[in-house]
Amino acid sequence: MSEVNLTKRKEKCENCTKQCNKKNSDDGAGSLQEKDEIGGQVNEGSQLLLSACLSCDGCLSDDENVKISQQSLEEVKHVLALNKKCDASKYKVLVASICPQSLPFFAVKFGMEVTEAAHKLCSFLKGLGVHYVFDTNLASGFSILECQKEFIQRYRRKHHDSHALPMFTSSCPGWIRYSERVLGSLVTPHICTARSPQQIMGCLVKDFFCKQQKLSPDKIYHMLVAPCFDKKLEAVREDFYNSLLEARDVDCVLTSGEIFGLMEQRRVSVDELDSVPLDHVLGDSGDAVLMRHEGRVSEGFLEHVFKYAAKELFGLDVHEITYKNHRNRDFQEVTLERDGETLLQFAAVYGFRNIQTLVHRMRKGRVPYQLVEVLSCPGGCISGRGQAETMAGRLDKNLIQQMEEVYSSLPVHLPEVTPALHTLYHDWLQGQDSPQANMLLHTQYKSQIQSQTHSNIFPFQ
Query: Which tens digit of pLDDT belongs to each residue from 240-266?
Result: 877 666 788 999 999 999 999 999 999
What pLDDT is recorded for position 288?
61
Please state the φ and ψ torsions of residue 422, each to the nearest 5 degrees. -65, -35
Q: Tell me the pLDDT band of 457, cut-offs 50, 70 and 90.
A: very low
Q: Are 317 and 310 in contact (CB under 8 A)?
A: yes
Confidence of residue 458 (pLDDT cuts 50, 70, 90): very low
Q: How much is the pLDDT for 382?
A: 87
The Cα–Cα gap between 445 and 185 comes to: 10
| Confidence grade of residue 418 (pLDDT, cut at 50, 70, 90) | confident
Write down the H helix ranges in 157-286.
Answer: 173-178, 197-203, 210-213, 230-235, 256-265
CA angle 257, 259, 262 (to 5 degrees): 110
What pLDDT score does 21 carry? 44
The tens digit of pLDDT for each residue in 86-138 reads 777 889 999 999 999 999 999 999 999 999 999 999 999 999 999 999 999 99
Q: Which of 63-77, 116-130, 433-447 has the highest mean pLDDT?
A: 116-130
Between 454 and 229, name the one with better pLDDT: 229
pTM of the entire predicted model: 0.83
Fold of 143-194+294-416: Fe-only Hydrogenase (Larger Subunit); Chain L, domain 3 (3.40.950)
What does the pLDDT read at residue 411?
A: 82
Q: Which residues contact 42 (CB under 8 A, 6 or more apart)?
A: 33, 34, 35, 36, 48, 49
Average pLDDT taken over every residue of the chain: 81
- Can you give the length of the chain in residues? 461
Domain locations in the chain? Answer: 62-140+196-290, 143-194+294-416
Q: Which residues contact 297 (CB under 8 A, 6 or more apart)?
A: 101, 379, 380, 381, 382, 383, 403, 404, 407
Going by C-alpha positions, the residue among 134, 172, 188 that lies closest to residue 444 is 188
CA–CA dist 221, 203 (Å, integer): 13
Architecture of the 62-140+196-290 domain: 3-Layer(aba) Sandwich (3.40)
pLDDT at 297: 60
pLDDT at 245: 66
Backbone φ and ψ for 385, nearest 5 degrees, come out as -70, -5
Amino acid type, 26: D
Mean pLDDT of 370-396: 87
304-313: b or e for each residue (b if 16 or more CB lie within 10 Å)?
Answer: bbbbbbbebb
Q: Select, from the ranges 145-149, 281-285, 350-354, 441-445, the one with the highest average predicted confidence (pLDDT).
A: 145-149
Predicted confidence (pLDDT) at residue 363 exceeds the cutoff of 50: yes
What does the pLDDT average to over 370-395? 87
Helix (H, G, I), strand (E, B) or coil at 223: strand
pLDDT at 32 > cutoff 50: no
pLDDT on residue 450: 54
Residue 121: predicted pLDDT: 96
Q: Is the pLDDT of residue 183 over 50?
A: yes
pLDDT digits (tens, 9 = 90+) for 280-321: 998 765 556 677 766 666 667 999 999 999 999 999 999 888
pLDDT at residue 26 is higher than 80:
no
pLDDT of residue 287: 55
